[in-house]
Amino acid sequence: MGLGDFDSKGLVGKIAQIALQGRKFGVGLLVLAQRTATVSKTVLTQCNTIISFTCYDDTSLGFLKNIFGPAHVALIPNLPRLHAVAFGPWVRSQHPIVFEVPYDAKKAKAGVVAPVPVVK
């Protein structure tokens, strides 16, 4: 599904309506995307808290610069594995934070999370 796919435009429109009006009905929306360019601008503007792992594309970094500021966006392409930058109401900070997601070896062994080999 994508913004350019004619068959999915109706669904994208409905998701945008949920993003715009969901709060008054007690509905929240969690958006996960590899690139912000593939997410409707209507949906992106309704996101209160943004979390970004490593990314490289200029469109996403340009969007994130408006959220995190240029200093934190400069960190994003070089973030180590399992590190992210976050900012918004769910983050108890006046500024974006860089944090590490705890690695759980038990989940990885159970197949929930497959460890990614580090390429040097």
Q: Is residue 93 part of a domain?
A: yes
Q: Is residue 86 part of a domain?
A: yes
Mean predicted confidence (pLDDT) in 4-9: 67
Counting runs of H as helices and runs of E as strands, what totals does the chain give?
5, 3
Q: Is residue 73 part of a domain?
A: yes
In terms of residue numbers, what domain contains 91? 48-109
Centroid of chain to Cα 104: 21
Q: Is residue 63 part of a domain?
A: yes
* CB proximity list for 6: less than 8 A, separation 6 or greater: none
Q: Is residue 6 part of a domain?
A: no
Q: Is residue 9 part of a domain?
A: no
User: Does residue 50 or residue 109 have the better pLDDT?
Assistant: 50
Q: Is residue 115 part of a domain?
A: no
Task: Give the number of domains in the chain.
Answer: 1
How many angstroms separate the CA atoms of 111 and 120, rounded?
25
Q: Is residue 91 part of a domain?
A: yes
Say what the pLDDT of residue 64 is. 93
* CB proximity list for 16: less than 8 A, separation 6 or greater: 40, 42, 43
Is the model's pLDDT at 65 over the cut of 50?
Answer: yes
Beta-bridged to residue 33, according to DSSP, are: none
